[in-house]
Amino acid sequence: MSSDLVRLAKRIRGEFDELEIVLLRVKESWESYQRSSDDYYLDSAALNLHGLYNGLERVFELIATTIDESKPNAENWHQALLLQMTEDKPPLRPAVLSRTIYIKLDEYRGFRHVVRNLYTYKFDPKRIQKLVDEVPDLYAQVRIELFAFADFLEHH
């Protein structure tokens, strides 16, 4: 068992300590927006959804560079990296994410792009609400899949 793989497994699990805080901030800022209709809370919910995806993407980059030794570098590298996580890479690793999770995460990846490229006063509250409503279940599933992958790293 490589010490690099054990460190990666620990890093994957550790990242979720941070993501839990971001997930809570998504929930709290959305609830504040619903109570007050204050766009600053809407902006906060959007920014924290962006941060949640970015945290997951950091994990995917670590897996790509540490295990696959190959991270996409084309213009659409964010999308290609997410897709890469669904691929079996024998004998290196199994798929990190299921196709179902990939499809759901791809919506958050796309939203991350919106947050980076749109003025905040143009955010669509209905789209943000959909993402906020779906994120707890998605987060739980992603956590299960990434922790299973971390188990794989520690035992192979």
Positions of the chain with pLDDT under 70? 1
- Tell me the whole-structure pTM to 2 decimals: 0.94
**Tens-digit pLDDT profile for residues 90-123:** 999 999 999 999 999 999 999 998 898 877 778 8
Tell me the C-alpha to C-alpha distance, in Å, between residue 153 and each of 7, 63, 68, 150. 9, 10, 13, 5
Give the position of tokens 């971390």. Answer: 150
Give the pLDDT confidence score for residue 122 in this predicted structure.
83
State CA 113 to chain mean position distance: 13
Domain architecture of the chain: domains with CATH: 3-155 (1.20.120)
Q: What is the pLDDT of residue 119?
A: 73
Distance CA 59, CA 131 (A): 21
Specify the pLDDT at position 156: 82
**d(Cα 4, Cα 119) in Å, to the nearest integer?**
41
